[in-house]
Amino acid sequence: MTTDTNNFDEIGDDHYSNSATNPVRSDAFELTDDEKIERIKKDVAQILTTLGMDLSDDSLKGTPNRVAKMFVKEIFGGLNPYKKPSTSTFENNYKYGEMLVEKNITLYSTCEHHLLPIVGRAHVAYISNGKVIGLSKMNRIVDYFARRPQVQERLTMQIVQELQKALGTQDVACVIDAKHLCVNSRGIRDIESSTVTSEFGGKFKEEQVRREFLDYIKLETKF
Ligand code: ZN
C-alpha cells in the first residue's frame, strides 16, 4: 500500500492526467449542498484541531463553516452539473466568417493535487460554421470548469470540448497561462514560473490558423 501512496504523490507532483473528465464518483450528488457543508464543516474543524488550533478563539470560530461554504458554493461549485451555464447559441446572421478570440479571461481554479490556487488567464477562440455564442458565455464556461479540483491540461480540454459541442464545430482552441501556487509558494517555491497549456481543434491544427490565434493573444489591449 505504501508503494501505491508514493505513486499517487509522484503523479500529483507531475500534474499528470490523461482524461478530460474529472474523477467524480457516481454518488457525487446524492447529498444536497447543505448536507455537504455540514459534513465538510466538521472535517475542517477536525483538521484544524489536529493541527493544534484552538477553535474557541474568536478569529477561528467561523472558519470551518466559511471554508465548507466556500468549497461547496464557490471554488468547487463547478462540480455540480446543475450549475453549468447555458450554452445557447444564435445564428451567425452577419456572416462573420473569421476567427473570434476572447482573450485574457481571468481564471481562478484549484489544483487537485494540493488544493492550492491556480491563477491565470484563458484565451479562447472559434471559427463559426453558422452558430455564434454570446461573448460572456465563453467567460462563464471557463469559470464553470475552473471551479473544480482541477488539472490545467484537463481544464483546457474541457473548455474546448464544451464549446465544440455548443457551436457544432471542431474549430475551437484554448490556451491557458497560469500560475500554480503549489509550485510558486511551496515545494520548489518558484514564484516566476507559469504553466501554459493549449488545445487546438479542427482548423486550429493548421499552422497558419494557429499562428493567427497566438498573434491575437499577444496583442496588447489599450483603452
Ligand atoms: Zn499542485
Q: What is the DSSP string of 191-207?
A: SS--EEEEEE-GGGGSH
How much is the pLDDT for 131? 92
Q: What is the pLDDT of residue 7?
A: 45
Say how many Å lie between the CA of residue 108 and the centre of ligand 1. 14
Instruction: Encode pLDDT of 144-170 as tens digits.
Output: 999 999 999 999 999 999 999 999 999
What was the pLDDT predicted at 2?
38
pLDDT in tens, 192-222: 889 999 999 999 999 999 999 999 999 887 7
Ligand 1 centre to CA of 16 (Å) is: 10
- Based on the residue annotation, tell me whether 180 is a catalytic residue of this protein: yes
| pLDDT given for residue 41 in this prediction | 98
CA distance linking residue 8 with residue 167, whole number of Å: 37
Answer yes or no: is pLDDT of 132 > 60: yes
Helices (H) and strands (E) in the chain, counts: 8, 7
**How far apart are the CA of 132 and the centre of ligand 1, in A?**
35
Q: Is 174 a catalytic residue?
A: no
Q: Could you state, in order of their start, the residue ranges of all structural domains in the chain? A: 27-75, 89-218
pTM of the model: 0.88
Alpha carbon of 146 to ligand 1 centroid (Å): 14
* Segment 9-21 mean pLDDT: 52
Please give the single-letter amino acid code of residue 31.
L
Instruction: Give me the CATH topology for the region 27-75.
Output: GTP Cyclohydrolase I; Chain A, domain 1 (1.10.286)
Alpha helices, H only, 15-81: 33-50, 58-61, 63-69
Q: Same CATH topology for 27-75 and 89-218?
A: no
- Of 15, 123, 150, 152, the active-site residue reads 152
Render pLDDT for 97-127 as a digit per residue (tens, 0 to 9): 889 999 999 999 999 999 999 999 999 999 9
Q: Which helix (H) or strand (E) holds 158?
A: helix 152-167
Q: Fold for domain 89-218?
A: GTP Cyclohydrolase I, domain 2 (3.30.1130)
Beta-strand ranges (E) seen in the chain are: 89-91, 99-111, 117-127, 131-133, 149-150, 172-180, 195-200
